[in-house]
A and B are shown apart, each in its own frame.
Chain A
Amino acid sequence: MKRFTSARISQLLFLALFLVLFVQTEYRGNDQISAAVNSFFRADPLVSVSYLLAEKSFTWLIFPGILVLALTILLGRFFCGWICPLGTILDLITGRIRKTAPIRALKRNLKYFLLIPLLTCSLFGVNLTGLLDPMALLLRALSFFFYPLVGDTVRQGWVALYRIMGERRDLLAPGYDIVRDYVLPFRETFYPLAFLSTALFLLILFLERYETRNWCRNLCPLGTLLGIAGRFSLFSRLPKKLCPDCGACRDLCPTSFDRDILQKEECILCMECQLHCPSQRIRFSFSGISAADGPYLPERRLILGGVVTGFFLARFFRFRSPEAQVRILRPPGVQDEGEFLRKCVRCGECMKVCLRSALYPAILQAGVEGVYTPQVIPRLGYCEYNCTLCGQVCPTGAIPNLTSEAKKRAVIGKAAFNKNHCLPFAKKVNCIVCEEHCPIPSKAIRSRKMAEVANDGTQAVIQVPYVVDELCTGCGICENVCPLEGKAGIEVFAVKDRTPLREYGNNKDILPEQGKKNDPYSG
């Protein structure tokens, strides 16, 4: 019987937890999501460190990540060997992949040339760490590709059953309802960048061809960061080198024994060596730091080179596409584009959780550095008035976690009619579907009756809509439900000033009738 180390059991538990939380990151009948997969990002030191560097302020949201970093200084890279779900997936599949020789180009200092520029870039205000964060990579592949694929496949199967069985399918409905309500995504949403996300994930798996944990030891910026912290750790494997008479560790160890000496920053504390040591010599204990552990920091030229690269990278991204910021619609509560870009991890949770599938990853719409950041596309989905889920699941507060009351006032943009398309203007017929759907209690879209000459020359009284800018939040339901096909007759445009709608008087409701005096448009 195969024996499991405690590390492997912990890995499997955390992977299961990750997947359960992933499925839980969806509206399942409650306004509040009690636990979401964002916990993993809040405990992610790379996210925490880059947030601190970029935002230069502290929030308790990232505290768990700082804690993990502190524990790493004490214990070493336990995160990689005990927690990281991507690492677990690699461990689970690597046994089935035949290895060729390691890639030499990866063996040099490439990982430092990824981590140091990324962090420097953050320091100068361009936070790109989410692009290479292992959990973000995994989550994006899941949310943009695998999960929608599973959802769509099951759904298609369910529809096919209806074609075959007709109404008798109802016999199976209770079972399907449970799967739909607790496991599947509710909507079949397809995302741009699905293939890129999957390709990156598969590439990481593919790298296992060359050596075990290839991504983890040669590329992963989170692993590299934890490795640097782990060099200081007091907890260590003993003995710190291969025993001259055995050397079995060379094969047992997934990460560290490339050379004959233990490289502490690579040791992920999986403890396979202890379990399988033929002569029971190996133990893990607090040993203090000794000179044999090597230098604490990477070589100076690496650090300097990395910093300079990062600096120029950050400067380079200052050349933002000028029109990008003007057109892009951000999730509710995001007021400042720069701050949003500095905080966003690009984990994709907001897009996954979005009730009406209004959020999609930007490709280049927000500029090169905005890739994978969420944007609202109202024609595909609108922001539901009472919903606050995206703010709840955002790990770093890039999308603020607003109360329902505050969220209802948060401005995404402002709607405007296109008179060449909108039916009452262009075709002189009644419509008003937008006004009907506008969720603002006193209506940000209103209409007045106008005597018009219809296109056939007859007189007609048409209800002509208009937008009350002071009440419009840009939720986009108007653009979404506009019965015109293709281009809507009303569209939401981004605005620079996203100050929340003001409250009128003591009444908490938005522009109640009592507030009529204050509101020139009320009527």
Chain B
Amino acid sequence: MNRRAFLKTVGFWSLFMEMSVRNLFAREQAMVAVAEGSDHARTTRKALAALGGMKRFVKSGNVVVIKPNMGWDRTPAQAANTNPVVVRALAEEALAAGAKRVKIFDRTCNDERRCYVQSGMKDAFKGMKNVELKFIENERFKKVTIRGSVLAEWELYGEALSADVFINVPVAKHHGLSKLTLGLKNVMGVMGGNRGSIHKNLDVALADINSVMKTHLTVIDATRILTAHGPQGGNLADVKVLNKVIASTDIVAADSFATTLFGMKPAEIPVTVAAYRRGLGEMNLNRIKVVKV
């Protein structure tokens, strides 16, 4: 075999191998459920049902962590925080599916007391049994070895790590640096330490974090979205009401679909691309099955 023939053969087989390896490890096709309706609790339940219902994720006696975005001292209408109605519907579903306890928290950017009140969360969960809306306590952060591309290790929140089910519930909104903030970026809310310092490599660093902090279920609140001046907003003129809730087991697929709500392509969002390259999920819209309900 001469050199040319060898290279040809190797080239041909490597193409083939690439495909077969992919097929071997291919998971079931990524699926994103998109529900629409102005009753946001019902819409959330519809999206969940399309995925197979909460029972698919939550088993009896499980501890469930719901991680909304409630990092800002803003009202629900301003779309800087996750809609409390969506979060409450998820908590109720988790309890109905047999969860022993549902914990809800976020490491806020503004004062946590104000954020929890102003975001509507405190009212939403008042008096609910087995649901804890709790403040972050620094002693609970645990150093986690990541061995990622840019982060060797980082402190992540113990209660998020130890949860049986981790439900990631971001609000879809604009962001000055990452263009959009969705499920992948929402995980920053369980990061300890000087998390601002990861901004210099935000996309790759978030892929690193998401590779160890696994989201079991992503529910993106697009009941209203913040289209500019994110992530904090404040001007109602920047808010667009869509009445949509997106749910998926594939965080990258959920983010990718949500990107289209802003008239953008997933490839334009570096965080999504970095996570896709890391194998955290599917970003090609033509390979994602979208179920509208």
Would you call A443 and B229 a contact (CB within 8 A)? yes
The complex places the Cα of A385 from the Cα of B233 at a distance, in Å, of 13
Q: Are B177 and A442 in contact (CB under 8 A)?
A: no
List A residues 419-457 near B (Cβ within 8 Å).
423, 427, 429-433, 435-443, 447
Interface string of A340-359 (1 = CB under 8 A from B): 00000000000000011000
- Select from chain A the residue with minimum beta-carbon distance to B198: A483
Chain A neighbourhood of B197, CB < 8 A: 483
Bound complex: CA A173 to CA B199 (Å): 34
B162 at the interface (CB under 8 A from A): yes
A296 interfacial by beta-carbon distance below 8 Å: no
The distance in angstroms between the C-alpha atoms of A14 and B231, with both chains bound, is 47
Mark out the residues of chain B between 212 and 250 whose CB falls within 8 Å of any chain A CB in the assembled complex. Answer: 229, 231-238
- B200 within 8 A of partner (CB): yes
Interface residues in A67-102 by Cβ distance below 8 A to B read none
Nearest-CB distance from A432 to chain B (Å)? 4
- B162 contacts which of A167, A356, A513 (Cβ < 8 Å)? A167
Segment of B21-29, B47-55, B113-121 in the binding face = B113-121
* Interchain pairs with CB closer than 8 A, number: 95
Beyond A167-B162, A485-B194, whether A436 also contacts B231 by CB under 8 A is yes
Contacts of A433 in B (CB 8 A): 196, 199
Does residue A287 face the partner (Cβ distance < 8 Å to B)?
Answer: no
Q: Is the CB of A512 within 8 A of B199?
A: no
Please name all residues of chain B whose beta carbon is closer than 8 Å to the beta carbon of A127 when the two chains form the complex. none
A442 touching B199 by the CB < 8 A rule? no
The smallest beta-carbon distance between B128 and chain A, in angstroms, is 14
Q: Does B73 contact A385, Cβ atoms closer than 8 Å? A: yes
One of B137, B177, B229 near A430 (C-beta < 8 A): B177
Query: B residues within 8 A CB of A423?
Result: 200
| Distance between Cα atoms of A219 and B16 in the complex (Å) | 95
In the complex, which residues of chain A have a beta carbon less than 8 angstroms from the beta carbon of B236? 509
Q: Which residues does chain A contribute within 8 Å of B199, judged by CB atoms?
A: 430-433, 483
CA distance A482 to B122 in the complex (A): 29
Chain B residues positioned under 8 Å from A337 (CB to CB): none
Q: Does A386 contact B (CB under 8 A)?
A: yes
A432 and B177 in contact, given A483-B199, A514-B237 (Cβ under 8 angstroms)? yes
Residues of B within 8 A of A441 (CB): 229, 233-235, 238
Assess whether B140 is interfacial by the CB under 8 Å rule.
yes
Interface residue B20 (Cβ < 8 Å from any Cβ of A): no
B140 — nearest CB in chain A belongs to which residue? A162
Tell me which of B122, B176, B235 contacts A447 (CB under 8 A).
B176
> Does A297 touch B at the CB level, under 8 Å?
no
Question: Quick check: is B202 within 8 A (CB to CB) of the other chain?
Answer: yes
A437 touches which one: B109, B139, B237 (CB < 8 A)?
A: B109
B196: contacting residue among A355, A439, A482, CB under 8 A:
A482
Q: B110 to chain A: which residues have CB within 8 Å?
A: 384-385, 439
Task: Determine if B111 and A387 form an interchain contact, defined as CB atoms under 8 angstroms apart.
Answer: yes
Contact B113 A27, beta carbon cutoff 8 Å? yes
A463 at the interface (CB under 8 A from B): yes
Which residue in chain B gives the minimum CB-CB distance to A384? B111
B73 touches A442 (CB 8 A): no
B135 → chain A closest CB, angstroms:
9
A385-B73, A423-B200 as given contacts; A509 in contact with B177, CB under 8 Å: no
Complex-state Cα separation, A163 to B201, whole angstroms: 34
**Chain A residues near B140 (CB-CB < 8 A):** 162
Contact A463 B176 (CB under 8 A): yes
For the complex formed, measure the closest distance between the CB of A175 and the CB atoms of chain B, giving whole angstroms.
14
A512 pairs with B237, CB closer than 8 A = yes
CA distance A16 to B194 in the complex (A): 42
Q: Establish whether residues B229 and A436, one from each chain, have CB atoms under 8 Å apart when the complex forms.
A: no
Given contacts A167-B162, A433-B199, contact A513 B177 (CB under 8 A): no
Quick one: given A27-B114, A443-B229, A463-B177, are A430 and B73 in contact (CB under 8 Å)? no
Residue A29, interface by CB 8 Å: yes
The verdict on B265 contacting chain A, using a C-beta distance below 8 Å, is no
| Residue A481 lies at the interface, judged by CB distance under 8 Å to chain B | yes
Contacts of B100 in A (CB 8 A): none
Chain B residues with CB under 8 A of A431? 177, 196, 199-200
Flag B153-194 by CB within 8 Å of A: 1 or 0 each.
000001000100000000000011100000000000000001
CA distance A441 to B237 in the complex (A): 10
Q: Does A41 contact B (CB under 8 A)?
A: no
> How far in angstroms is the closest Cβ of chain A from B62?
15
Q: Cβ of A355: which chain B residues have Cβ within 8 Å of it?
A: 111, 113-114
B173 to chain A, nearest CB (A): 11
Task: Return B264 CB to nearest CB of chain A, in Å.
Answer: 16
A435 to B175, CA, bound (A): 10
Residues of B within 8 A of A509 (CB): 234-237
Q: Which residues of chain A have C-beta atoms less than 8 A from B73's C-beta?
A: 384-386, 439
Query: Is A18 an interface residue when CB atoms closer than 8 A count as contact?
Result: no
**A324 interface residue (CB < 8 Å to B):** no
List the A residue with the shortest CB-CB distance to B74. A386
Which chain A residues lie closer than 8 Å to B233 at the CB level? 441
Q: Which of A252-274 contact B (CB under 8 A)?
A: none
Known: A159-B139, A442-B229. A481 touches B196 (CB 8 A): yes
19 contacts between A and B (CB under 8 A): A27-B114, A159-B137, A162-B137, A167-B162, A173-B134, A186-B113, A384-B111, A385-B73, A386-B114, A423-B200, A429-B201, A431-B177, A440-B234, A441-B229, A441-B233, A463-B177, A483-B197, A512-B237, A513-B237
- A residues neighboring B (CB under 8 Å): 27, 29, 159, 162-163, 167, 173, 186, 355-356, 384-387, 423, 427, 429-433, 435-443, 447, 463, 481-483, 485, 509, 512-514
Closest 10 CB pairs of A and B: A441-B234, A483-B196, A429-B200, A441-B235, A483-B197, A433-B196, A432-B177, A159-B139, A435-B176, A162-B139
